[in-house]
Amino acid sequence: MKQAFPRGLPGTKRQPGPAGTRGPIGLVGQTGAKGQRGARGVAGPTGASRPAARITSADRIELLSVVQMQIDNIHRELDTQMHRSTQLEILIRRVEDKLGELIGLSKWLQDDGGSRPTSGAGFLGTIPN
Protein backbone atom coordinates (compact mmCIF):
# COMPACT_ATOMS: atom_id res chain seq x y z
CA MET A 1 0.00 0.00 0.00
CA LYS A 2 1.03 3.48 -0.73
CA GLN A 3 1.85 5.80 2.06
CA ALA A 4 -0.18 9.02 2.00
CA PHE A 5 1.56 12.32 2.48
CA PRO A 6 -0.24 15.55 3.26
CA ARG A 7 1.69 17.64 0.71
CA GLY A 8 3.35 17.03 -2.55
CA LEU A 9 2.40 15.81 -5.97
CA PRO A 10 0.10 12.80 -6.16
CA GLY A 11 1.78 9.50 -6.73
CA THR A 12 5.19 10.43 -5.33
CA LYS A 13 6.86 8.69 -2.47
CA ARG A 14 9.13 11.45 -1.40
CA GLN A 15 8.93 13.50 1.75
CA PRO A 16 7.18 16.82 1.25
CA GLY A 17 9.28 20.00 1.01
CA PRO A 18 9.05 23.03 3.24
CA ALA A 19 5.88 25.07 3.22
CA GLY A 20 5.81 28.08 0.90
CA THR A 21 5.11 31.66 1.77
CA ARG A 22 1.66 32.37 2.92
CA GLY A 23 -0.66 34.16 0.48
CA PRO A 24 -2.52 37.40 1.10
CA ILE A 25 -5.48 37.47 3.41
CA GLY A 26 -8.76 37.17 1.57
CA LEU A 27 -11.77 39.45 1.67
CA VAL A 28 -13.60 39.93 4.93
CA GLY A 29 -16.93 38.20 5.10
CA GLN A 30 -20.22 39.64 6.26
CA THR A 31 -20.60 40.78 9.86
CA GLY A 32 -22.59 38.44 12.02
CA ALA A 33 -25.80 39.26 13.84
CA LYS A 34 -25.63 41.59 16.84
CA GLY A 35 -25.62 39.82 20.18
CA GLN A 36 -27.90 40.44 23.09
CA ARG A 37 -27.38 43.37 25.39
CA GLY A 38 -25.54 42.62 28.61
CA ALA A 39 -26.86 43.01 32.11
CA ARG A 40 -27.01 46.50 33.59
CA GLY A 41 -24.13 47.49 35.87
CA VAL A 42 -24.30 48.49 39.49
CA ALA A 43 -25.49 52.07 40.08
CA GLY A 44 -22.78 54.48 41.19
CA PRO A 45 -22.90 56.84 44.16
CA THR A 46 -24.98 60.01 43.81
CA GLY A 47 -24.19 63.48 45.07
CA ALA A 48 -20.92 64.74 46.49
CA SER A 49 -18.42 62.33 47.89
CA ARG A 50 -18.24 64.28 51.13
CA PRO A 51 -20.77 66.45 52.93
CA ALA A 52 -20.92 70.17 52.26
CA ALA A 53 -19.06 72.45 54.64
CA ARG A 54 -21.15 74.12 57.31
CA ILE A 55 -21.02 77.91 57.50
CA THR A 56 -20.69 79.06 61.06
CA SER A 57 -22.01 82.34 62.43
CA ALA A 58 -18.45 83.64 62.70
CA ASP A 59 -17.96 82.95 58.97
CA ARG A 60 -21.20 84.79 58.19
CA ILE A 61 -20.15 87.80 60.25
CA GLU A 62 -16.76 87.90 58.53
CA LEU A 63 -18.40 87.65 55.10
CA LEU A 64 -20.87 90.42 55.96
CA SER A 65 -18.07 92.68 57.17
CA VAL A 66 -16.20 92.19 53.88
CA VAL A 67 -19.33 92.98 51.87
CA GLN A 68 -20.03 96.06 54.01
CA MET A 69 -16.47 97.29 53.47
CA GLN A 70 -16.89 96.91 49.71
CA ILE A 71 -20.17 98.83 49.81
CA ASP A 72 -18.51 101.63 51.79
CA ASN A 73 -15.71 101.80 49.23
CA ILE A 74 -18.26 102.05 46.41
CA HIS A 75 -20.11 104.87 48.20
CA ARG A 76 -16.86 106.75 48.77
CA GLU A 77 -15.93 106.39 45.10
CA LEU A 78 -19.40 107.55 44.01
CA ASP A 79 -19.11 110.65 46.23
CA THR A 80 -15.74 111.44 44.68
CA GLN A 81 -17.12 111.03 41.15
CA MET A 82 -20.15 113.23 41.92
CA HIS A 83 -17.85 115.95 43.29
CA ARG A 84 -15.69 115.77 40.16
CA SER A 85 -18.71 115.93 37.86
CA THR A 86 -19.98 119.00 39.73
CA GLN A 87 -16.60 120.70 39.34
CA LEU A 88 -16.56 119.87 35.62
CA GLU A 89 -20.07 121.25 35.23
CA ILE A 90 -19.00 124.55 36.83
CA LEU A 91 -15.97 124.76 34.54
CA ILE A 92 -18.07 124.02 31.46
CA ARG A 93 -20.53 126.81 32.40
CA ARG A 94 -17.63 129.26 32.83
CA VAL A 95 -16.22 128.27 29.44
CA GLU A 96 -19.68 128.66 27.85
CA ASP A 97 -20.05 132.12 29.37
CA LYS A 98 -16.60 133.20 28.15
CA LEU A 99 -17.32 131.75 24.71
CA GLY A 100 -20.57 133.70 24.55
CA GLU A 101 -18.70 136.89 25.48
CA LEU A 102 -16.10 136.20 22.79
CA ILE A 103 -18.76 135.58 20.15
CA GLY A 104 -20.52 138.81 21.11
CA LEU A 105 -17.25 140.75 21.05
CA SER A 106 -16.39 139.24 17.66
CA LYS A 107 -19.74 140.36 16.24
CA TRP A 108 -19.26 143.80 17.73
CA LEU A 109 -15.78 144.09 16.24
CA GLN A 110 -17.02 142.96 12.80
CA ASP A 111 -19.57 145.75 13.03
CA ASP A 112 -16.59 148.13 13.32
CA GLY A 113 -17.65 148.92 16.85
CA GLY A 114 -20.33 151.26 15.55
CA SER A 115 -23.07 150.05 17.81
CA ARG A 116 -23.02 148.68 21.28
CA PRO A 117 -23.59 144.91 21.65
CA THR A 118 -26.97 143.78 22.87
CA SER A 119 -27.55 142.63 26.41
CA GLY A 120 -27.96 139.06 25.20
CA ALA A 121 -24.33 138.95 24.08
CA GLY A 122 -23.21 138.11 27.58
CA PHE A 123 -21.14 141.23 28.34
CA LEU A 124 -21.01 141.90 32.02
CA GLY A 125 -18.15 144.40 32.02
CA THR A 126 -17.33 147.42 29.91
CA ILE A 127 -16.65 147.34 26.20
CA PRO A 128 -13.05 148.09 25.22
CA ASN A 129 -12.38 151.40 23.35
Amino acid at 111: D
The verdict on residue 28 lying in a domain is no
pLDDT band at 120 (very low <50, low <70, confident <90, very high): low
Give the model's pLDDT for residue 129.
Answer: 46
The verdict on residue 6 lying in a domain is no
**6-10, 20-24, 99-103, 125-129, range with the lowest pLDDT:** 125-129
The verdict on residue 46 lying in a domain is no
The verdict on residue 101 lying in a domain is yes
The verdict on residue 14 lying in a domain is no
**34-48, 73-87, 107-121, range with the lowest pLDDT:** 107-121
- Domain span at residue 99 reads 58-114
- Give the whole-angstrom CA distance, residue 106 versus residue 102: 6
Give the model's pLDDT for residue 87.
Answer: 96
End-to-end CA distance of the chain: 154
- Give the whole-angstrom CA distance, residue 119 versus residue 129: 18
8 A C-beta contact, residue 78 and residue 84:
no
> What is the number of domains present in the chain?
1
Exposure string (b/e) for 31-58, b if CB count within 10 Å is 16 or more?
A: eeeeeeeeeeeeeeeeeeeeeeeeeeee
The verdict on residue 106 lying in a domain is yes
